[in-house]
Chains A and B, each alone.
Chain A
Amino acid sequence: MLEKADAPRRWDTLERSYRARIERGAAFADGKIVRRDETERFLEAVIEPGDRVCIEGNNQKHADFLAAALSKTSVEAIHDLHIVQSNIALPPHLDVFERGTARRLDFCYAGPQGLRMARLVAEGKIEVGAIHTYLELYSRYFCDLTPHVSFVAADAADADGNLYTGPNTEDTPAIVEATAFKSGVLIAQVNRIVDKVPRVDVPGDWVSFVVEAPKPHYIEPIFTRDPAVITEVQVLMAMMVIRGIYEKYGVTRLNHGIGFDTAAIELILPTYAEDLGLKGKICRYMSVNPCPTLIPAIESGFVESIHCAGSELGMEAYTAARSDVFFIGRDGSMRSNRIFCQLAGHYSDLFIGSTLQIDLEGNSSTATLSRITGFGGAPNFGSESRARRHGSEAWLKAGREQRLSGEMPRGRKLVVQIVETFGDGMSPTFVERLDAWELQKTFDMPLPPVMVYGDDLTHLVTEEGIANLLLCDTMEERAQAIRGVAGYTPVGMKRDREMVARLREKGAVQYAEDLGVDKRLATRDLLAARSIKDLVAWSGGLYDPPSRFRNW
C-alpha cells in the first residue's frame, strides 16, 4: 500500500544547481566570456563549499591562471573543496590547501611539489583520498569523483565557447566529458579568443564559461632529453635491450617511458638496430609523446606511427609535417589524448621505463622517504594486460616462456624496467626492502606506493645484463636472477654465484656476451644524434628546440 509521500523526490537537483550557478556567474561575464578582472569574484559565484573541483594540470599544460585565481578567492565563500586533478605541479595547486580553500585531494602525480605536499599532508591540511594512476582517476570522474566544476586549458575559444586545444589536448576530453554531461560547470582558460577556432576540439555547448588568460598557459618541455648527456653505460644498456628483447621477441608495438635510458634506445635504432637488419621488424608503432629523440628513428624509417598523450614544446611543426606518422587534425596540427594513448600503450606488446628502487620480487617504486610524487603513466602502461585476447609474435612468445600451469595457452605483455645499479649519489637501485613501505606508514596509506608490481614485470635490464623473470620458476630463482644483474650493490654482492650461473645457463640471466653485444661498440659514437642540434638537423630544421636546450 502506498503511503502518502512526504515530498516528491527531486531527480534534477544537479541540473537546478547548474542553472543557479550559471545565473550567478553570468553577472561577471559577457555571454560566455568572463571579464578577466572579475575572475576571482566569478569563481566565488559559481563554486560552492565542498564542491569537487578539477583543475586541469597535466604533464605539460596547466589552467594556471584559473588555479592562481582560485587560490586568491575568499575562504568564507569557498572552502573545503575536494580537488580531483591528475597533476599537482604549480604552487597555487597547493596554496588552496594551505589556506583552507580545499581540504581533500585525489591526484596522480606531484612531481616537484612532492616535498611540500608531504609537509601539508603531515600538517593535516591535505586529506589524500588516493594516489591514482591516470586511467583510474579518469575512470572515477565517471563514477564517484565527477567534478562539480572543472577548469580546463585550451589554446583558443570563440564567443560560443568552442575550444581549440592545439596539439596539447591531453586530459581535456576526459575532464570535459565527465563534467559537461553530469551538470558540471566547465570553465575554459584560453590563450586567445578568436572569431573562428582552427578546429573544434570541444563543442561550445559543453562549455559554460571562457576566460582569456593574460598570458599563454604554462607549458613545460618535460619530454625533451638532450642527447649530449647520454652516457656510454646507457648506450650499452640500449644495445642489450635491442638484442636481448626487441630483436628476440620481435617487438613492433610498444611504449617508451621518458628518460635518458629509453632515449638511448631511440637514438641507436638508426645505427645499431639498422646494422642488425631490424628495420621493419621492431619498434614500428609507439604510444608516447613526440620526444625529440625519436626524430632520427622516424626519419630513418623505423617508427611508422605514433599516438601521443600530449605534445612537446618545439615539436609542433615537425609533427604537423609528418601526418603519416602522427595523428593530425584537419587544421594541420597534432591531436593528442592521454586516455586513448594510455589505452593503446596498455594493449601494446611492451612497456619499458626506469625507476628509482627495485626489490627482490621485482616491485619498483619512485617514492623516496621525503616526498609524495605519485606515478605518472608508468603503472597503466607497465602492467600485464590481462583482458587482451589478440595474438602477436612478441606477446605469444612471452606467453610461452611464462609456462603457466594448466592447459590453456596465454600471451604475456613484456614489461621491462631499465636501470643502472647505482643512481644519483651512489644510492643503490636494488634494495632488500622498498622505501615505499616506510612511506606507507609515515603517510598512513592503504598500500605502499609501488609503481610497477613484481608480478607485472618480465625483464630487468642493468649495465650488468638482463634478468628474464619469465624463465624463473620459483621466487628464490627470481630473487637470484635479480641479484645476478644488480652489480656491486649490496643486493648484488650477496648473490649465490652458483645459482646465478645455473640461471645463466637457462637464459634467465644474460650478460652482454651471452646476447652477442660487443661492449667495445658502446660509445656515444653509436648515437644517431649526440646533441639537440643534431636532432634539428635530422628534422630538416622543423624541430624548434626551446632556448634552454640550445648551444648555438
Chain B
Amino acid sequence: MSAAPAVIAPEPLPSTTGRRRVLVSSVSSDSHTWNLVFLQLLLEELGHTVTNIGACVPDDLLIAECRRHRPDMVVISSVNGHGYLDGRRLIARLRAEPDLAGIPVVIGGKLGTRGAEGGSHASELVEAGFDAVFEDSAGIGEFRRYLAAPQTPALHHDTPPVPVP
C-alpha cells in the first residue's frame, strides 16, 4: 500500500480564532468510545473547547446537538468499519438542513471494513459533503496538521490535496 495522503482538505478551516468550540461525535452504529476520548484530550490540549456527545449517535441527535451548541467544527470518529456508510448518510442529512449546510464537518478513523486494502473512501466522503477525511492509515499527524492549518496556511503546500472528482 502506498503512502498516498488519505487526507482531503480542499479549503483551510475558517480562521476564526485559535480557540474553537468543537463537537466530537461517533456515528449511529458505533459503540466505541476510547477514540472519542482520545480526540477530546487532543483537542483540549490544543486549546479548544470540546463537547463530546459520545457513541451510537443517531443522525437526528447529531443535528439537534449541532443546533444546540453551534460548534465551530464537528469532528466525527468511527472505528467499527461502518463509518463510511453511516458517515455518507449522516452528512447528506446534515447538509440538507439549510442552517447547517456550511458548518465545518470532518470525519476520521477506520472507515471501512477492510482496512487499507479496502481502498480509500476519502474522495467519496468529501463529495458527500465532509470538509476533510482522515483515514486510519494516515495516522493522527494529518489531523493535527489540519487543526493547525489556519495558523500555518503554508501547510497546504506540503500536503497536496487529493483531487476531488
The judgment on whether A and B are partners is no
